[in-house]
Amino acid sequence: MLNELIFLLHIISVTILGLVALRFGRSALIAIIALQCVVANIFVTKQILLFGFNVTGTDVFIIGAELSLNLLQEFYGFDAAKKAIKISFLMLFSFLVYSMFQLWYTPSLADTMHPNFSAILGFAPRIILASILAYLISQSSSVLIFRFLQKLFNNKFFALRSGITTSLSQFIDTVIFTMAALYGITYSVAQIITLSFAIKLFAIALTTPFIAFAKIIFKLNKSDNNHEI
């Protein structure tokens, strides 16, 4: 059960860091969203054994980015969330471009790390494009779903709204990425979608209790800002 324990700690740490970013304000939230998107794409090919199944730990970062996006939209508005998506996409695309240039260089005889970088950063183009496509569609859907739920619940029940939004957007992300990246390669796309989404729902459920602290943290942040003024 070691991996399951690590997975639990992973989810908790990512959630707490998202709340810490909220404490620092809008810029920190946008930065951590972009960072999580980049880190998720670094580890997208890393597989772990969880509850007897092969899954990728990168889903935790995607959910963390989604949670931070919900925090950003809840406390700083729809326009801030849209800006965060654009900035995180720019950071993701820039990371991929920068990585390719490093891999194109002919390594020196003293370079012993090039094979390792090639293995980590030399993603198949199909996986890269699938990841970008899934990210753009799911995150764009997320801000629209969250905005609809804000109006529906009159800005109440933030934890519930965040959970619903993240669940729906991650279903979209899972379906698009799996179909685009793995269709025709794996024996059962439906099984992978079901398993991956189930793991994501488990992670989302674990983040929910921490959402209750978001309002308190935001009030503390506003209080500090007012004190400074």
Mean pLDDT, to the nearest integer, of 54-83? 90
Residue range 37-66, pLDDT digits in tens: 889 888 877 878 888 877 777 889 989 999
Do the domain assignments include residue 108?
A: no
Residue 160 lies in a domain: yes
CA distance 27 to 226: 18
Answer whether residue 228 shows pLDDT above 50: no
DSSP 108: P
Positive or negative CA dihedral for 71, 142, 9, 33? negative
Q: Domain for residue 151, yes or no? A: yes
Evaluate whether 87 touches 34 at the Cβ level (below 8 Å): yes
Q: What is the mean pLDDT of residues 137-147?
A: 93
Residue 110 counted as domain residue? no
Residue 109 maps to a domain:
no
Q: What pLDDT, on a 0 to 100 scale, did the predictor assign at position 135? A: 85
Cβ within 8 Å of residue 22, ≥6 positions away: 28, 29, 68, 71, 75, 214, 217, 218, 221
Alpha-helical (H) ranges within the chain are: 2-24, 26-42, 59-76, 78-104, 114-121, 125-152, 158-182, 189-211, 214-228
Q: In this predicted structure, what is the pLDDT of residue 122?
A: 76
Domain count, the chain: 1
| Per-residue model confidence (pLDDT) at position 105 | 92
Q: What tokens were used for 54? A: 């092969």
**How far apart, in whole angstroms, are the C-alpha atoms of residue 184 and residue 195?**
18
Task: Report pLDDT for 130.
Answer: 83
Question: For residue 132, is it within any domain?
Answer: yes
Q: What is the mean pLDDT of the chain?
A: 86
pLDDT tens digit string along 183-213?
776 667 787 788 888 888 988 998 888 887 8
Check pLDDT > 60 for residue 227: no
Domain assignment present for residue 141? The answer is yes
Q: Is residue 217 part of a domain?
A: yes
Q: Residue 92 sits in which domain range?
A: 2-102+115-228
Whichever domain contains 144, its CATH number is 1.10.1760
- The residues, any chain, with a CB within 8 Å of residue 97's CB and separated by 6 or more, are none
8 A C-beta contact, residue 170 and residue 200 = yes
Predicted model pTM: 0.86
Residue 147 has pLDDT above 90, yes or no: yes
pLDDT for position 229: 37
